[in-house]
Amino acid sequence: MKKAFKIIGAVVAFVAVILFIGGDKLVQRLFVSMQPQAQWNTAEGEVLRDLSYGEGYRNTYDLYLPANAKPKALMLFIHGGSWRSGKKEDMAWAAERYVGEGYITASINYTRMHSDSMTYNSGYDYPCIQSMMTEIDASIKAIKSKCQELGFNVKQMAVGGYSAGAHLAMLYSSLYAQSSPIPIKFQISWVGPSDFSLFFPESAHAKAMDESSAVERDRILEQMNQFVYGVSDDKLDSQQPTADEINALKCVISPVDNVDAKTPPAVLVYGGEDRLVDAAHGKKMSEVLNANGVHNQLIIFPHSGHGLDSDPDYTVQVQQTILEFCDKYF
């Protein structure tokens, strides 16, 4: 399994190139700037910044504690940035918004692909999807312990994120649904990739392997290898991976391929004009959740791209829906 995660970049090359070169960091700033902000002040609570959940220099989190309330749940937020940029402060707007509703909230950093190096014994030499899963799990353990230290017995949580962070939130919610240190009651995806087959379809693989398209084949294989190097500092074991090998790897990191009846309910938010993460990701996730009998609410902003910035009425709808999920599942 570790080897599979170390070479998993082979199937996310296309999306990483598009998201990183296409401006995922820029649209994340746009996304944050247009969100309705809670008017945060110290009377509403306090923020404990840069707490540690591990030995890595990126193993830090901010913990938001509501004032004059007995919080009954944690809401954890994961930043985006193509898995290789971004920071916990990018999700401060969400942490502030929902601590204002009386919940404990937190936003975390994680060791990013290509940007960071492992500075601790994690079992992984280089940042990869699986190392991010283990860091999220470690952060939840640390937050639970910190809350207990502060006198809060947190027994339930929601986890959400934006773009790459939403992908991590969805994948964690499925893979760790039964083992999370704090039980996950629901998940939130703002424009998160859910199905890597949509980024690297079998037709693209067939084209890459077609001897009559040697230039295209070399280009795609080089893209794959470049991203694998960014994930694991290694090259593909095979210069001609089979379609079955690629499909198996796609399934490992695609939330849609890890859903079952025990996957937590979901709020799924996507842009109808998104050219980075198509709304098809939200539709596919909703379909798979429905097929497994898991409650979900899909909200597509009809005129918005990846920044979800052109449909203010839908922004309000998302906030209302999340609060409805809080009332229903907490």
Return the pLDDT at 188: 98
Rg (CA), the chain: 19
How far CA 105 is from CA of 35, 37, 78, 93, 158, in Å, comes to 17, 15, 11, 11, 9
Return the pLDDT at 95: 97
Return the pLDDT at 2: 47
| Superfamily of domain 2-199+231-329 in the CATH hierarchy | Alpha/Beta hydrolase fold, catalytic domain (3.40.50.1820)
Give the mean pLDDT of 154-176: 97
Phi, psi of 297 (to 5 degrees): -130, 115
Tell which wins on pLDDT, 283 or 237: 283
Return the pLDDT at 10: 41
49 neighbors 272 (Cβ within 8 angstroms): no
Give the mean pLDDT of 134-154: 97
Nearest CA among 170, 101, 185, 113 for reference residue 136? 170
Return the pLDDT at 17: 45
**Least trusted range by pLDDT, from 105-109, 242-246, 249-253:** 242-246
Give the mean pLDDT of 108-137: 90
Nearest CA among 260, 261, 257, 283 for reference residue 270? 283
Domain locations along the chain: 2-199+231-329
Phi, psi of 266 (to 5 degrees): -145, 145
Residue 212 DSSP label: G
Reported pTM? 0.86
* Residue type, position 193, single letter: P
With a cut of 50, say whether residue 286 has pLDDT above it: yes
- pLDDT bin (cut points 50, 70, 90) of residue 271 is very high
User: Residue 178, exposed/middle/buried by CB under 10 A (0-12, 13-18, 19+)?
Assistant: exposed
- Tally: H helices and E strands in the chain: 11, 8
With a cut of 70, say whether residue 90 has pLDDT above it: yes
Q: Token digits for 160?
A: 């959400």
